[in-house]
Copies of this chain bind each other. A is one copy, B any other.
Amino acid sequence: MSEIPTKDIDQTDRAYEVGGGLIDAILQAIEDNDRPTFDRMLEPLHAADIADILEQIGSKERNAFVTFWGADFDGEVLAEMDEALSSEIFESLPDSVVGGAFRDMETDDVVDLVEELELHQQARVLDALDVSDRIAVENALLYPEESAGRLMQRELVMAPEHWTVGEAIDFLRTDTDLPERFYDVVMVNPRLEPIGKVPLSSLMSNGRDVRLVDIMDEDFLTIPVLQDQADVAYAFNQYNMVSAPVVDAENRLVGVITIDDAMEVLEEEADEDIKRLAGVGEGSLTDTIFTTTRQRFPWLAVNLLTSILASMVIAQFADTIEAIVALAVLMPIVASMGGNAGTQSLTVAVRALATKDLTSANAWRVIRRETTVGLLNGCLFAVIIGVVGVVWFGSALLGVVLGAAMIVNLLVAGSAGILVPLWLEKFGVDPALASGAFVTTVTDVVGFFAFLGLAAAILL
């Protein structure tokens, strides 16, 4: 399989999208039992593209695809795939295919795949590996999920303090077990502690006699092996790093993390934040209908509780509504505006927490800011909605009540939108996961209470 697709991918309008035409042609080749055409279509595709194709077709076509591919099945395709699907496909692979599919993979890719599989499936993959690869994978699995230890590769190039550029180059020319990709030579002392990094580009541009310690970069960050992968990705992005040595609790070099792994984590974490904010958990398009229904149920259940709470507030004012039915017509406006303003504030807060732009140093300033913005937009919309109320229902007092309730609710929305994420973060709860439910509860309850309460006090 070649590394990069060069054909059948449109580089202009829908760049890099694996087109429906190509997929149809592949499925046709399978139906026609036309192996040469099938191979010719797959040949230029990267494993990630084949994974995308398998994700996009139906389960019947998927089975036919995998069966037709047979012994040539590429294990990397599974590593590039959604969790639910890789497990399903793996289950369908005969032992003869499993034996060959994973032997050529880099161990960190195998780890990526194995951690997504179920326990009995993991054993099948491990059994198919060479002893040394098997040990490397098993060691990686000893580290906690989402830690630097899972992310790093053990294969790396290190050099002792006394080496010269020439000695390093000679070593690299003779060593047959080099990592597939490396960007730095890590300098270590006799205790195996990293003391510097020599980028390959420096190695190339200096003479053979130059000592490595004289050209090494001493200002480098080491990643603790237990560090959370989100923090690792943050560090790569913040400090424009390309690779970083990973150290154990005794500061001994145990591996290297490269930027391509960090980039994948960065995308995963942003994706997780977006989906958590919308209450869809880990959902992906390849989950079954049943799984998806179950994944979305909890968030909807929480929302049901909060909206029943809001209904209870409304119920307190049943007499008021019975007297002035216009209140029932207008009350959703105030609550809905509050919900949207609150979501704006909390989204900015959740992102700022994730990118470490919101800290104890500026929390109070940001709280003041969000509250003031809520107040200002509250005043603007109070005028607009007040006019609407007066024009629509011909009552100046109704307009005043609407406007006043709008100011109160947008002010509260602004404060809740920043305070709730800050509190959740403080108590160790992911603010992306739970902020929405709390904030909309507050804006619903306050919205209905302020509007109906003011109406009861002023209009009755």
Residue numbers of A with Cβ under 8 A of B are 2-6, 11-12, 14-20, 23-24, 46, 48-49, 52-53, 55-58, 169, 172-173, 175, 178-179, 181-183, 199-201, 203-207, 217, 219-221, 224, 227-228, 231, 234-242, 259-260, 262-264, 266-267, 270-271, 273-275, 277-280, 283-285, 289, 292-293, 296-297, 299-301, 303-304, 306-308, 310-311, 314-315, 318, 321-322, 325-333, 335-337, 340-341, 343-344, 346-348, 351-352, 355-362, 365-366, 369, 372-373, 376-377, 380-381, 384-385, 388, 444, 448
Contact = CB atoms under 8 A, between A and B. Distances in A.
A206 B369 CA distance: 60
Given A175-B205, A332-B307, A228 B15 contact: yes
A333 to B, nearest CB: 4
B377 A296 contact: yes
Contacts of A289: 369, 372-373, 376
B52 A356 contact: yes
B360 A333 contact: no
Contacts of A296: 341, 344, 373, 377
B173 A356 contact: no
Identical chains bound together, number: 2
A235 B173 CA distance: 31
Nearest first, the 3 A-B pairs at minimum CB distance are A270-B270, A278-B347, A328-B328
Contacts of A321: 321, 325, 328
Contacts of A262: 263
B237 A267 contact: yes
Nearest to A44: B219
A181 B88 CA distance: 42
Contact of A333 (B12, B308, B328): B308
A280 B344 contact: yes
A6 B204 contact: no
Given A337-B300, A356-B16, A237 B220 contact: no
B201 A344 contact: no
A401 B121 CA distance: 48
A348 B285 contact: yes
A165 to B, nearest CB: 9
